[in-house]
Homo-oligomer: A and B are copies of this chain.
Amino acid sequence: MNIIDGGVTTPKGFKAEGIHCGIKRERLDLAMLYSERPAIAACAYTQNKMRAAPIELMIQRHTDKIQAFVINSGNANAITGPQGMKDAIAMSDSAAKALGIHPQLVGVASTGVIGRYLPMDKLEQGIKNIAGKLGSGREYDHRANMAILTTDKTIKEAACQVTLKDGTVVTIAGMAKGSGMISPSMRTKHATTLSFITTDAVLSKSPEWKWQECINKSFNMINVDGDQSTNDISVLMANGAAGGKPVDDNHDFWEAVLYVSQSLAKQVVLDGEGATKLIELKVTGAKSDKEARTTGRWIISSSLVKTAIFGADPNFGRVLAAMGNSGSEFNIDKVRLTIGSNGEEVILFEGGVPQVKPCSEEEVKARKLLSEHNISMHLDLGVGNGAAEAWGCDLTYEYVKINAEYTT
């Protein structure tokens, strides 16, 4: 696997663009993603029962082939009743008309404020405009990425290449947005966080199961604020433009998809609302991978763990309390917790007892490590071979400010 500098239009046969159509005051707010031929698709949607109109539409359509995606930011078209559903259909119809393809092949996604109607005149005019401007290359990637952001500070993208045994080089690339309302618990046909992964590899059918597995190890293991969104969607589109054999069961290909997904997931957390630190948590020694994932999610979701990390406080008690709340099995005499940064680490708990005394040299070292921006944490539950990784961020004054002072 070769990590490359690339974006959604790096795989062959994909085009994109991002423009300002007038939903937001100034920033880009409308993106389009287009494949020269219909792509095999796997979609995953939020499990929140309060689904936005575009999600509802996508689920009703049972889409497994997609040629274009139209995405707006600044307005979520969520909890907008029958009018919202009409608007989502109109978005899809406008894009289909402008591109000369069937509406069934057009995916729709929205993100932004909940509970307001879309300004359809501006949006439909925007869709007409953007369809004529599509192109490939880093500038197009960049503008498409910019146009799907809300409270995000940075764009999120990742790309890599895999050379198949027959010599075919396939490219996998993705973009994502997400900063708040991030607590994905995605299922194929049910998921959370806005992300689009393109590839020119050949897939013979919609890879729902593999895509679920990939999501379980990436987007489903991040948390910013515990609130699962009404709107998010995660899509894999494979248009086969690279040729070669189908990769449905190709290990290297799926490793590469996992790399792109994990990279995007981490970028979402790192740009979490108000976040100043990335927490990379490894859970091992669990009864099963599932219990390891559950434990990981509880820990990175804990407000007390998140504020302790913000304050550079090696408060292992909060981590173990969150472990206890997860309901997963552990053997306290064998539980081991370390925290670290830049390759250095401190053991906080081992052999059933705390390892760092208040005001000790070790505590000073732990505080120093926790004041870095990249925090690693390793928790072994001491009962089995289950393992998982999870990614979270700290809870800061800025998070409160962003969510108290603005309607988002």
Interface residues of A (CB under 8 A from B): 48-51, 76, 78-83, 113-116, 180-181, 225-230, 301-304, 307-308, 310-311, 313, 315-318, 320-328, 330, 332, 349, 351-354, 358, 395-397, 399-401, 403-408
- The reply to whether B404 and A308 contact each other, CB–CB distance below 8 Å, is yes
Q: Which of B115, B229, B400 contacts A354 (CB 8 A)?
A: B115
Q: Which of A51, A76, A82, A318 has the most CB of B within 10 A?
A: A318
CA gap between A113 and B321 in the complex, in Å = 12
Q: Which of B78, B225, B404 contacts A313 (CB 8 A)?
A: B404
- Closest Cβ of chain B: how far from A396's Cβ, in Å? 6
Having A76-B317, A227-B304, A304-B403, one finds 18 other A-B pairs with CB under 8 Å, namely A49-B325, A50-B321, A51-B324, A114-B318, A114-B320, A115-B349, A115-B354, A227-B303, A227-B322, A227-B325, A303-B399, A308-B403, A308-B404, A310-B400, A311-B403, A311-B405, A395-B403, A399-B400
- The reply to whether B407 and A313 contact each other, CB–CB distance below 8 Å, is yes
**With contact pairs A49-B330, A304-B403, A324-B51 given, residues A114 and B79 touching in the complex (Cβ less than 8 Å):** no
Q: Which of A181, A226, A315, A400 has the most CB of B within 10 A?
A: A400
Return the chain B residue nearest A117 by Cβ. Answer: B354
- The reply to whether A79 and B354 contact each other, CB–CB distance below 8 Å, is yes
Return the chain B residue nearest A403 by Cβ. Answer: B307
- The reply to whether A400 and B324 contact each other, CB–CB distance below 8 Å, is no
- The reply to whether A304 and B50 contact each other, CB–CB distance below 8 Å, is no
CA gap between A327 and B48 in the complex, in Å = 7
- Closest Cβ of chain B: how far from A81's Cβ, in Å? 4
Q: Which of A115, A318, A349, A395 has the most CB of B within 10 A?
A: A115
- Closest Cβ of chain B: how far from A59's Cβ, in Å? 14
The 8 closest A-B pairs by CB, nearest first: A114-B317, A50-B324, A311-B404, A307-B403, A81-B352, A48-B324, A49-B324, A81-B353
CA gap between A308 and B327 in the complex, in Å = 30
Residues of the B chain whose Cβ atoms lie less than 8 Å from the Cβ of A354 = 79-80, 115-116
CA gap between A78 and B317 in the complex, in Å = 8
Residues of the B chain whose Cβ atoms lie less than 8 Å from the Cβ of A180 = 304
Q: Which of B115, B332, B403 contacts A303 (CB 8 A)?
A: B403
Can you report 21 residue pairs joining A to B where beta carbons are below 8 Å apart?
A48-B321, A48-B325, A49-B323, A49-B328, A79-B354, A114-B316, A115-B316, A115-B354, A180-B304, A181-B321, A226-B303, A227-B322, A228-B324, A230-B317, A304-B403, A311-B405, A313-B407, A315-B407, A358-B407, A396-B400, A399-B400
Residues of the B chain whose Cβ atoms lie less than 8 Å from the Cβ of A327 = 49
Residues of the B chain whose Cβ atoms lie less than 8 Å from the Cβ of A302 = 226-227
- Closest Cβ of chain B: how far from A277's Cβ, in Å? 11
CA gap between A313 and B158 in the complex, in Å = 36
CA gap between A407 and B358 in the complex, in Å = 10
- Closest Cβ of chain B: how far from A296's Cβ, in Å? 16
**With contact pairs A49-B324, A313-B404, A330-B49 given, residues A181 and B79 touching in the complex (Cβ less than 8 Å):** no
Return the chain B residue nearest A303 by Cβ. Answer: B225
CA gap between A303 and B396 in the complex, in Å = 12
**With contact pairs A227-B325, A324-B49, A324-B230 given, residues A82 and B352 touching in the complex (Cβ less than 8 Å):** yes
- Closest Cβ of chain B: how far from A207's Cβ, in Å? 27
**With contact pairs A354-B115, A403-B303 given, residues A79 and B349 touching in the complex (Cβ less than 8 Å):** yes
CA gap between A354 and B84 in the complex, in Å = 11
Residues of the B chain whose Cβ atoms lie less than 8 Å from the Cβ of A321 = 48, 50, 78, 114, 181, 227-230
- Closest Cβ of chain B: how far from A77's Cβ, in Å? 11
- Closest Cβ of chain B: how far from A389's Cβ, in Å? 22
- The reply to whether A315 and B49 contact each other, CB–CB distance below 8 Å, is no
Residues of the B chain whose Cβ atoms lie less than 8 Å from the Cβ of A396 = 400, 404
